[in-house]
Structure 1
Amino acid sequence: ATAEPAGKTTRKTAGEPGEVRRITLYVDKFPDGQMGYGLEPGKPTIPGPLIEMIEGETLEIELVNNTDVTASLHVHGVDYETSSDGTRMNDSVVQPGGRYVYTWRTHAPITRADGTIAPGSAGYWHYHDHVVGTDHGTGGILLGLYGPLVVRRTGDTLPDKTFTVVFNDMKTNNLTTAPDFTAKLGERVEFIVIAHGNLFHTFHIHGHRWADNRTGTLTNPDDQSRIIDTKTTGPAESFGFQIIAGE
């Protein structure tokens, strides 16, 4: 990451991509039968951990399945071979007690031969299981096997903190209240919003607005991006944005 020169408000930005990184992700069960991904064995979370990439890099993810059911890892928004699809159709799944390496690749925007632009991978995406419960993995998603992925472009402004919000079908009886999202005045806050289940939802933040584009921020005074404070999202969709707390 880089920062602006002295004398200006410090702004951290995404650096240059590396070539290949490798992480290990674990699938574990909670005592109540729910499931989650985690960066350490026996420490799953719902949603799963935030995974960040920079356009142009490759990420190899070794998925270790510590449960008694077959599980997998499927991703949205980035490039991969069919062997990293995470479905039964091509046997890219992980048996109980097993492990498997998934490879995700990203690329910057490309100018086609006809002069049009092919979009890059930068954006707010998500990953999830695609096999628990049914061949489509709807059981795994209901149990908690999902998480956020952010692909940043070199030079993108980095947030001070990130919150992930997931809409999903679930039982709420006897559950604790949802967590509060807290930030200090002036902090740059990033929201990643993911929708699962069968319903459409409307996401809204009181007292704040953002640009309806890739980052949620205006790039210059003449940026014509629509400014919104509410966004509707449906099953399998995801989006994200940054705001300044209290602005």
Structure 2
Amino acid sequence: MTVDPAQKSRFSRRSVLVTPAAVAGGALLTGAALAPDSNAGSAAAVRQITLYAESLPGGLFGYGLAPGAATIPGPLLEIYEGETLEVELVNNTDQRLSIHPHGVDYDVNSDGSPLNASFNAPGETRTYVWRTRKQVDAGGGRFMPGSAGYWHYHDHALGNDHGTVGIQKGLYGGLIVRRRGDLIPDRQFTVVFSGMLINNKKAPDTPMFEARQGERVEFVCIGHGDLPHTFHLHAHRWADTRTGMLTGANDPSPVIDNKNLDPGSSFGFQVLAGEGVGPGAWMYHCHVQMHADQGMVGLFLVRNPDGSMPPGAQAAIDRFQHHHVAGPQADHSNHHG
């Protein structure tokens, strides 16, 4: 597969921040409108967004920002601490389903679980309200944590009361709650390890994420399914903190390039593409060796600063495209088909 530098749309997808003005105008603003310390409204701002749950080929399902636009993973949503997000979910399927968030506040009506009768019947539209809070100084050098972090959302009602089938079939996505002053990346990618799949695919069909050397890249990593995993990114490393960055010269946080990604967990970090190592085709994968052998591997392509392909990168991509899954071909894919 030859990668065309002109196909920027394949690797420039950003998260979605919806402003009141954008909603009133019937349009959605992408992450390009989100700048550090941007005046995205008051601390108590209420954001609104509509997601559409739809059937996809192969028996899969996805969330999308418009009818016919569902993807796996669903859109990466992003708000600031202190804001409220109202998610209008339109169920365009013939299945019961919902949307359930991690890391934010909500009442029982927005729990997204059948336990609280919080779900969408087939064809139903329902609004879920997610609230966030700011960090609070509790005195004595102690702070009550806020909502800032790399979180995620997923179905909790398709197939059974835990949404097991919905998650297996692609109803999930990333959620970022930022603190004002956080650095804003040039590119963002969501990586979901579920069963023996990455974003419901197995190598060589796993996502190839792309950036130019020197660009600030943000990864949002999410775990689902029944198996423990680890996420490893070749040639890049980050601090094991909320943002992936150190907060000062004496910050004792460990610097890592591999982190556990167990079911239900999530984390995120930022790196500068190719920093210290240059451009090239770099692997990301699960470091449980059996999982990597069976296809839990993808590529992070770092192009030259001008967007051109670095020497050897296309040959590496071609070799990856001829990747053969090793070992027994048992289906550990959560029966996604």
Tell me whether the two structures share a fold, i.e. TM-score over 0.5. Answer: yes
Q: What amino acid is aligned across from residue 85 of structure 1 in structure 2? A: D
Any residues of structure 2 matched to 1:223-242 within 5 Å, and which? Answer: 223-242=251-270
Structure 2 stretches lacking a partner, 5+ long: 1-16, 18-34, 276-337
The alpha-carbon deviation at position 110 of structure 1 amounts to 1.4
Any residues of structure 2 matched to 1:187-226 within 5 Å, and which? Answer: 187-226=215-254
Q: What amino acid is aligned across from residue 211 of structure 1 in structure 2? A: A
Match of 2:186 among 151, 157, 160: 160
Q: Which residue of 2 aligns with 1:4?
A: none
Q: Which residue of 2 aligns with 1:101?
A: 127
CA contact (8 A) 1:27 1:63 kept: yes
Any residues of structure 2 matched to 1:61-140 within 5 Å, and which? Answer: 61-112=87-138, 116-140=142-166
Closer/same/farther in 2, CA of residues 174 and 206 from structure 1, 3 Å limit? closer
Match of 2:38 among 15, 40, 47: 15
**Distance in 1 separating the partners of 2:37 and 2:170:** 29
Any residues of structure 2 matched to 1:46-61 within 5 Å, and which? Answer: 46-61=72-87
> Relative to total residues, which structure has the larger helix share, 1 or 2?
2
Q: TM-score, normalised by structure 1?
A: 0.91
Structure 1 stretches lacking a partner, 5+ long: 2-11
Closer/same/farther in 2, CA of residues 105 and 111 from structure 1, 3 Å limit? same
Q: What amino acid is aligned across from residue 196 of structure 1 in structure 2? A: H
The alpha-carbon deviation at position 15 of structure 1 amounts to 2.6
Closer/same/farther in 2, CA of residues 173 and 218 from structure 1, 3 Å limit? closer
| Greater gyration radius | 2
**Distance in 2 separating the partners of 1:147 and 1:56:** 21
The number of aligned residues is 237
CA contact (8 A) 1:142 1:170 kept: no
The alpha-carbon deviation at position 92 of structure 1 amounts to 1.1
CA contact (8 A) 1:166 1:194 kept: yes
CA contact (8 A) 2:196 2:202 kept: no
Determine what percentage of the aligned residue pairs are the same residue: 56
CA contact (8 A) 1:27 1:67 kept: yes
Q: TM-score, normalised by structure 2?
A: 0.67
Query: Helix, strand or coil for the counterpart of 1:83?
Result: helix
The alpha-carbon deviation at position 228 of structure 1 amounts to 0.6
**Distance in 2 separating the partners of 1:174 and 1:109:** 40
CA displacement 1:24-61 (0-9 Å, x = unmatched)? 00000013221000000122100000000100111101
Query: Helix, strand or coil for the counterpart of 1:50?
Result: strand
